[in-house]
Amino acid sequence: MAKKLVKRSENYSEWYNELVVKADLAENSAVRGCMVIKPYGYAIWEKIQRILDDFFKETGHQNAYFPIFIPKSYFEKEAEHVEGFAKECAVVTHHRLKPKENNEKGLECDPNAKLEEELIVRPTSETIIWDTYRGWVQSYRDLPILCNQWANVVRWEMRTRMFLRTAEFLWQEGHTAHATSEEAIEETKKMLDVYAHFAQKFMAMPVIKGVKSPNERFAGAIDTYCIEAMMQDGKALQAGTSHFLGQNFARAFDVKFLSKENKLEYVWATSWGVSTRLMGALIMSHSDDNGLVLPPKLAPLQVVIIPIYKTDEEFEMINNEADKIISFLKSRGISVKYDDRKEYSAGWKFNEYELKGVPIRITLGARDLKEGLVEVARRDNLTKETISVDKVNEYTENLLEEIQKNLFNRALSFRQTNTRKVNSWEEFLVEIEKGGFLLCHWDGTPETEEKIKELTKATIRCIPLEGEEEEGKCVYSGKKSNKRVVFARSY
């Protein structure tokens, strides 16, 4: 009589929130729109960090750290940037509290401790980093600067959603400076490739690489490249962005260098980032009604071993077998836990680890083991296989690979069956209600995109980099177009 703790309700958000909390990843904090990431959830983030960080180092980047507070005036320097972020900033105005007057209880800001200039809690660090870079660059020999920062940022969003849009979130932001436009664009694309590779090979999440339309572009960028993923409810999720900033920030912050030709020039910039939103993407890509489903490469725990026995002798026998399996798996760098707690029944443990998304469960039962058998269960499709105990090591190792691949293929085929070419406006109106991605021609104007968004809530998720040229007519205006773009409703 397994009682399902997690139910996929009609309302996807409800299911999602339920899942996140029950799966012990995070909970809402007392602070509006912020979340507490619990140890198990944070362990996933640490894996993401470690893997990405290795990629960054391989591509020549270094980590650095910049202040959390940014003087307000910095934001005023890049016009589009201000407009993009001004509406959602947390602002520090005072540096001291004092007890309230008139015997009232509580504290208030001390008017004598008002800051000369307000400080903004960073919503992103372009401004303070470019202000700093000015002092680092004089000659072309100082370029490129390839820095990354792991940090928290704050955006005072009207509406927040666990993992996908919290008021405070963790992320990495890369900020690079280059001598030429070409080199900066190359960097932008290189980092997009890193993100796409990570999403597909590690998160087992297929993504479409593309460029944002002007409406969806980062505030202050010339071009915003992105990876877009499809969640299980057919909605799109922007999973990572890489921006070509041109010379916008260099001009705003006066970052110039003397070129080989002895000419004073502004540097070319990029910035790129992914956040704890990736964890939301991970959950929403693979999880099912039994809880989380984690790809082996990101699971904090890859294998769990559960003993079932009645007598001490049986327990002894199982322990011996477990030791052998554990030492093998550990030697292969596979994380494994032997859960021999007596306080919980086997059935309870089965459900617990399914909820947590542990990819493989090995059941060492006294009954089977006496016949030289063990049961290996996989989380991705919930099937079980009884195999000979002397094959379990190799089998488990291969199965992790198999699960990783299967999750990707499953998500990919889901995306494919929910991606359709749409050629007329009538068709668009019908199809957008079904969810998924619509590949449509678009006349390239912000007005059309705006109109479509207004009428259907769908936006252009990206203009795919790999899409082939094709003559056609804009799905809304009927004007000429030579490429299909991805329309979808998104998170």
* Site residues for RNA per CB under 7 A: 1-5, 11, 13-14, 17, 28, 32-33, 84, 87-88, 155, 157-162, 164-167, 169, 216, 218-219, 238, 241, 273, 275-277, 290, 308, 310, 342, 344-352, 354-355, 361, 363, 365-369, 375, 377, 382, 384, 453-454, 457, 490-491
CB of 149 to RNA, least distance (A): 15
Q: Which is nearer to RNA, 13 or 413 (CB)?
A: 13
CB of 451 to RNA, least distance (A): 12
| Cβ pair 253, 232 in contact under 8 A | no
Strands 97-99 and 107-109, how do they pair? antiparallel
CB of 389 to RNA, least distance (A): 12
CB of 265 to RNA, least distance (A): 28
Residues near 54 by beta carbon (within 8 Å), at least 6 away in sequence: none
CB of 254 to RNA, least distance (A): 25
| Cβ pair 123, 150 in contact under 8 A | no
Buried b (16+ CB within 10 A) or exposed e, 274-297: bbbbbbbbbbbbbbbebbbbbbbb
Q: How far apart are the first and last CA of the chain?
A: 36
CB of 336 to RNA, least distance (A): 18
Q: Is 5 helix (H, G, I), strand (E, B) or coil?
A: coil
Specify the length of the chain in residues: 491
Measured between alpha carbons, how far is residue 36 from residues 12, 21, 48, 89, 169 in Å? 21, 10, 18, 21, 10
Residue with tokens 């998924």: 436
Number of other CB atoms surrounding residue 30 within 10 Å = 6
d(CA 208, CA 486): 9
| Cβ pair 120, 150 in contact under 8 A | no
CB of 177 to RNA, least distance (A): 21
CB of 260 to RNA, least distance (A): 36
Q: Which is nearer to RNA, 48 or 137 (CB)?
A: 48
Q: Which is nearer to RNA, 347 or 478 (CB)?
A: 347
Q: Which is nearer to RNA, 218 or 257 (CB)?
A: 218
Cross-strand bridge partners of residue 70: 120
In a 10 Å sphere around its CB, with 0-12 CB exposed, 13-18 middle and 19+ buried, how is residue 212 labelled? buried
| Cβ pair 37, 26 in contact under 8 A | yes
CB of 460 to RNA, least distance (A): 13
Cross-strand bridge partners of residue 407: none
d(CA 410, CA 365): 31
CB of 92 to RNA, least distance (A): 19
Q: Which is nearer to RNA, 121 or 366 (CB)?
A: 366
Q: Which is nearer to RNA, 11 or 138 (CB)?
A: 11
Q: Is 380 helix (H, G, I), strand (E, B) or coil?
A: coil
CB of 408 to RNA, least distance (A): 21
Residues near 471 by beta carbon (within 8 Å), at least 6 away in sequence: 480, 481, 482
Q: Which is nearer to RNA, 61 or 361 (CB)?
A: 361
Residues near 167 by beta carbon (within 8 Å), at least 6 away in sequence: 31, 32, 33, 34, 154, 155, 156, 157, 160
Q: Which is nearer to RNA, 375 or 431 (CB)?
A: 375
Q: Which is nearer to RNA, 16 or 257 (CB)?
A: 16
- Helix 392-417 to helix 312-331 angle, to the nearest 10 degrees? 70
Q: Which is nearer to RNA, 65 or 344 (CB)?
A: 344
Q: Which is nearer to RNA, 22 or 201 (CB)?
A: 22
d(CA 223, CA 190): 14
Q: Which is nearer to RNA, 224 or 481 (CB)?
A: 224
Cis peptide before 296 (omega within 30 of 0): no
CB of 347 to RNA, least distance (A): 3
